[in-house]
């Protein structure tokens, strides 16, 4: 007969295993071998791309195309944060928008992040969006008031935030990232590139392994 403590541990382990299986399934459903058109080398980073970590001169550049509402992106978020800490100084970490049409709030979330970026608070909004994804994701209609509330909580200048969200240039900035992603062959999120080369995600540890090879190669 199992002791209560042992039974609890087994239950936790089973729940974690099921969660990992679900994440890997989502990855396998959405992952594609992203690649630029034949014979063409496209840039994965632009001068206005959002850099979360700036490594040294010899740093490896890791680019993530993401959708803030994407559950797989949310599952990768803690892993990405661990890798950013683990490889601090060795990698330059860049985030680019790729809102998917099936996610009602994905574009609104990206607009909130870009509006925050205009006040040099992109990373703060980036964290808030992923940490609260379960509260606003998978809704049947857009909830811009939720993202405005995040801006208030972050202490942003709300007049400037509202103006940025309403500014067509903000949406154009988001769409420019997505257009670049599409030209690179991105069709799902998260999609990662390391030093301009796509990372194919087939197992949970593939991203870390790819970064380790690039850093130590």
How far is the C-alpha of 82 from the C-alpha of 5, rounded, in Å? 29
Average pLDDT, rounded, for the chain: 87
Q: Is 97 exposed, middle or buried (0-12, 13-18, 19+ CB in 10 A)?
A: buried
Q: What does pTM read for this prediction?
A: 0.83
With cut-offs at 50, 70 and 90, classify the pLDDT of residue 190.
very high
Q: Give me 50's structure tokens.
A: 């959002």
Predicted local distance difference test score (pLDDT) of residue 174: 98
With cut-offs at 50, 70 and 90, classify the pLDDT of residue 40.
low
Architecture in CATH for domain 31-216: 3-Layer(aba) Sandwich (3.40)
Per-residue b/e over 31-70, b at no fewer than 16 CB within 10 Å?
A: beebebeeeeeeebbeeebbebbebeeebbbbbbbbbbbb
Domain ranges, ordered by start, for the chain: 31-216
How far is the C-alpha of 31 from the C-alpha of 34, rounded, in Å? 9
């Amino acid at each position: 007969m199992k002791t209560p403590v042992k039974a609890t541990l087994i239950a936790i382990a089973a729940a974690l295993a099921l969660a990992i299986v679900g994440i890997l399934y989502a990855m396998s459903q959405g992952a594609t071998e992203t690649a630029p058109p034949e014979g063409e080398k496209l840039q994965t980073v632009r001068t206005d791309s959002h850099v979360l970590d700036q490594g040294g001169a010899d740093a490896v550049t890791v680019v993530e195309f993401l959708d803030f509402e994407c559950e797989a992106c949310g599952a990768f978020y803690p892993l990405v944060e661990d890798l950013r800490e683990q490889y601090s100084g060795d990698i330059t970490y860049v985030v680019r928008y790729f809102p998917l049409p099936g996610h009602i709030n994905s574009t609104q979330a990206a607009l909130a992040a870009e509006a925050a970026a205009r006040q040099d608070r992109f990373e703060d909004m980036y964290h808030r969006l992923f940490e609260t994804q379960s509260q606003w994701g998978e809704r049947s209609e857009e909830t811009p008031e939720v993202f405005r509330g995040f801006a208030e909580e972050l202490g942003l200048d709300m007049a400037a935030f509202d103006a940025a969200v309403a500014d067509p240039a903000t949406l154009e900035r988001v769409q420019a990232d997505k257009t670049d992603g599409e030209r690179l062959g991105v069709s799902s999120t998260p999609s990662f590139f390391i030093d301009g080369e796509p990372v194919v995600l087939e197992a949970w540890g593939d991203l870390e392994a790819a970064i380790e090879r690039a850093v130590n190669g």
